[in-house]
Structure formats: C-alpha cells, structure tokens
Copies of this chain bind each other. A is one copy, B any other.
Amino acid sequence: MQHYDPGQPDGTNASLTLAISPDGTPEPGRTYPVEARCGIAVRVAKGQTLTVINPSGHQVCDFWAFATENMHEHLSMAHLHTTLGTIFPKVGDPLVSTLRRTLLTITEDTSPGVHDTVIASCDHARYRQLGCTAYHDNCADNLRMALIAIGLRAPMIPAPFNLWMNVPVAPDGVTRFAPPVAAPGDRMSFRANVDVIVVMSACPQDLTPVNGEGVAPGPLAFAITAG
C-alpha cells in the first residue's frame, strides 16, 4: 500500500498490446475496434471529431479525456455537473476539465441519451468485493494499460463518463444499475476543442446488469474524422 502508484495496473490483459499506433495517433477515417473487455487510447487533435459506436447497444464505454499538454487537466464529472446543471449531458453540451475548460463538445448522440456521470470505473477492488478471487478485467486497469501502450502513464484514475451506462438516481438519492437502453449501432460523437488523449474501455462488468442482462461484455468501435 505504501507504494501504491495510480498508474500501475493490478493485472494485465490485451490492452497492453492493442495501441492503434506507437503514440496513439489515429489514421483519420479509419474505424478501429475497442476489443471486448479491453481499453484503448487515441489522440484527438483540436477540431477533429471522435465517434464512438456501440455495435450491440448494450455495451457500456468508460470514457476519459486528458489534455495532451498536461494530463493533470482531465475531463471531470464533478466540474461537469456544475457547468451543465445536470448529471445527464446531452448533444451540444461542453465536456469540461478540472480547469473548467471545454475539452470536447458532444455533437451527436443517436441513443436516448442515458449515460452515467456519478459512478466510478470498475476496478480490481470492486471485483474482489463482488467475490472474484482470480484477476478480472476492469476499466481502471484498461485505462492504465491503454496509456502504457502509447508510452504514457495515468497520473490518477479520474471519475469516468460512462457512455450508455444506465444508473437512475431517484429523488431520495438512491442509485441502481440498470441495463442500457441504447440500440444496436448507436453512436456518440465528440468534437475536440483542444488536443486531447481519449481513453475508452469496453466495460468488462459481467457480474451486474451494467452491460445488459444475460449477455457477455462486447466490443465497441471508434473513428476520428476531420470535422
């Protein structure tokens, strides 16, 4: 514990070897997979658009963005809540950083718009609490490994923007994990306002209905376009 390093994975999976290029720079227009249960990092330049695709409709994407020039500036759900006045971001909304700068703007969402901004990524400790004794793939490690795969290191694990994750919050504050309500092929697009490094994890949660009832966690896909 004394040597806890937030950038160090608790175990490993293929995320360590799935980089789209040595430094995460994409080929514009190409569609890349986010393999099931894995994470991947991509550099999105100012003005470019990132589109994330949900082939099954029931697969959650843990999503983070770091300012390329300083990873201590990253997308922050707590700051987002103040800026937007809601816990549910929608098309046109700015996604703000720890410095309250707009890193990305949501430019498209073909789903009903149900996404989560209050729940932490799954991690090694979470699966141990759920009864796992062997290593279980997890989104926090996928973030760490996706960054290591392009030569970077997570300085911390920010609270994620959980695309398509369905966590209703009742008026009394009670939260629950419900299956996603997106449809197969739904997509979300984000225009970069500054150069960012985005990390996406195809959530490997298979012990709660976060990724749908009775289905295995699946892949996602993404592409970068010019506009």
Contacts and interface: CB of A to CB of B under 8 A. Distances in A.
Interface of A: 1-6, 67, 69-70, 72-73, 76-79, 81-82, 85-88, 98-101, 118-121, 123, 125-126, 129, 155-157, 159-160, 168-176
Contacts of A171: 168-171
Q: Which 3 A-B pairs have the closest CB atoms?
A: A88-B173, A78-B120, A100-B125
What copy number does this chain have within its complex?
2
A4 B72 contact: yes
A82 B123 CA distance: 12
Given A6-B72, A86-B172, 14 more contacts: A1-B73, A1-B99, A4-B72, A4-B73, A4-B99, A78-B119, A81-B118, A81-B120, A85-B176, A86-B174, A98-B156, A101-B125, A159-B159, A171-B171
A3, A99, A119, A120 — which one has the most chain B CB atoms within 10 A of its CB? A120
A100 B168 CA distance: 22
Contacts of A123: 100
B172 A88 contact: yes
A205 to B, nearest CB: 11
A94 to B, nearest CB: 12
A212 to B, nearest CB: 19
A156 to B, nearest CB: 5
